[in-house]
Structure 1
Amino acid sequence: MRLCDKDIEEWLERKELIIEPYPNKTLINGITVDIHLGNKFRFFYEHTGSCIDLSNSKIIGGLSLTEIMSNEIIFSEEQPCFLQPGSLVLCSTFESIKMPNNLVGWLDGRSSLARLGLMIHATAHRIDPGWNGNIVLEMFNAGKLTLVLRPKMRIAALSFEVLSQPVLRPYNLRKEAKYKIQNGVVPSRIHKE
């Protein structure tokens, strides 16, 4: 069952679901909570490696995964991020989310931005039960024009689905969880299975 706006407000008031900063009621509509773009970004460097072997996280050409991405870069309202056509950037949400063990979240882009070519998540749009931290967005400009991204602009919407019961292995208790209490833009942490 998806939570409606009234349910979302009740879960937030009871602190069963935590969104910081606490969302204004104008951001909670229908079945979603609008969330905002943070100010931290990571870009891919131009590099000489020809490909990334996803099975063992090696880049053919001698680079490591940490060598293909920039450190976090901070943008502001006055100095926004310019996302070129065909470019991928990692960035974080302004809000931090703490999910209970009986709720799963779903991240969706805004239609008005998608119609201009902005995809806000490459594939990762599930927010697991037990998640805690900023959400990293894998944003791609599929349009023909450069897109200007300003911190705190509305970027996506979250909806929430109640599970039949609390999960046995919530994200925050999994030993192998790679992005616990994520703060800012954490790059890929692929490892061998």
Structure 2
Amino acid sequence: MKLSDIHILEKIAAGKIAISPSIPDEHIGSFSIDLRLGNHFKVFKYTQCPPFINLGTSDSLFTMCDQFMEDIIVEDDKAFYLHPGELALGITIERITLPNDIAGWLDGRSSLARLGLMIHVTAHTIDPGWDGQITLEFANIGKLPLALRPGMRICAVSFEQLSGPTSRPYSEKKGAKYTGQISPLSSRIDKDE
């Protein structure tokens, strides 16, 4: 069952859910909290990529994923332009820390989706025991470039109480590849066990 705004604020006040920096009151909805876009992006350097990435193998290409991606830092008063058909990684300003009995759910904002912006391609779950900023998987499925500005409300996070604590919180899980992230991280599929 999703937590209401009242219960989210109670969990934050009790230190069960941590969000930093703190959220402005106008970003709190009836059962979710809007998160803001950070200024760090990661994009593929298409001119330096191989003709394909061989998924499902332990191919050395996976360990080179970062070398095929470029970091872009956007000044606060500037924009990152996402062109039609492009994929980019971004990061939230806010860091989220969850206990081992609460999961988070990331959703794009409807107003942005109506312009063709996908906020997450598939990764919308924030595991119990998570601690870190959230990497966003942007895709522009529209026909026009979209200007993404640092600090804008980019997505919403809601929370769900589990039936009990998990025995495998993300921060303690063997193979937790993205814990503690403070910048958008490229695929770590080569670390799968």
TM-score (norm 2): 0.94
Asked whether the 8 Å contact 1:50–1:59 carries over to 2, the reply is: no
Q: Distance in 2 between matches of 1:12 and 1:105?
A: 13
Q: Distance in 2 between matches of 1:87 and 1:118?
A: 10
Q: Distance in 2 between matches of 1:114 and 1:162?
A: 27
Q: Which has the higher helix share?
A: 2
Which residue number in structure 1 is paired with residue 11 of structure 2?
11
Asked whether the 8 Å contact 1:35–1:158 carries over to 2, the reply is: yes
Note the alpha carbon deviations across 1:131-166, whole angstroms, 9 max, x for none.
000000000011100100100100000010000111
Query: Equivalent pairs: percent with the same residue?
Result: 47
Q: Distance in 1 between matches of 2:80 and 2:58?
A: 28
Which letter does structure 2 place at the counterpart of 1:67?
A: Q
What is the root-mean-square deviation in Å for CA atoms of aligned residues? 1.7
Asked whether the 8 Å contact 1:57–1:65 carries over to 2, the reply is: no
Rate the CA distance shift 1:84–1:168 in 2: closer, same or farther, 3 A.
same
Work out the number of aligned pairs and report it.
191
SS state of the match for residue 12, structure 2? helix
SS state of the match for residue 185, structure 2? coil
TM-score (norm 1): 0.94
Extract unaligned runs of 5+ from structure 2. Answer: none
Asked whether the 8 Å contact 1:105–1:126 carries over to 2, the reply is: yes
Q: Distance in 1 between matches of 2:164 and 2:63?
A: 44
Q: Which has the higher strand share?
A: 1
Which residue number in structure 1 is paired with residue 33 of structure 2?
33
Which residue number in structure 2 is paired with residue 126 of structure 1?
125
Which residue number in structure 2 is paired with residue 78 of structure 1?
77
The list of structure 1 runs, each at least 4 consecutive aligned residues, that deviate by more than 4 angstroms after superposition, is: none
Rate the CA distance shift 1:54–1:183 in 2: closer, same or farther, 3 A.
same
SS state of the match for residue 9, structure 1? helix
Asked whether the 8 Å contact 1:75–1:81 carries over to 2, the reply is: yes
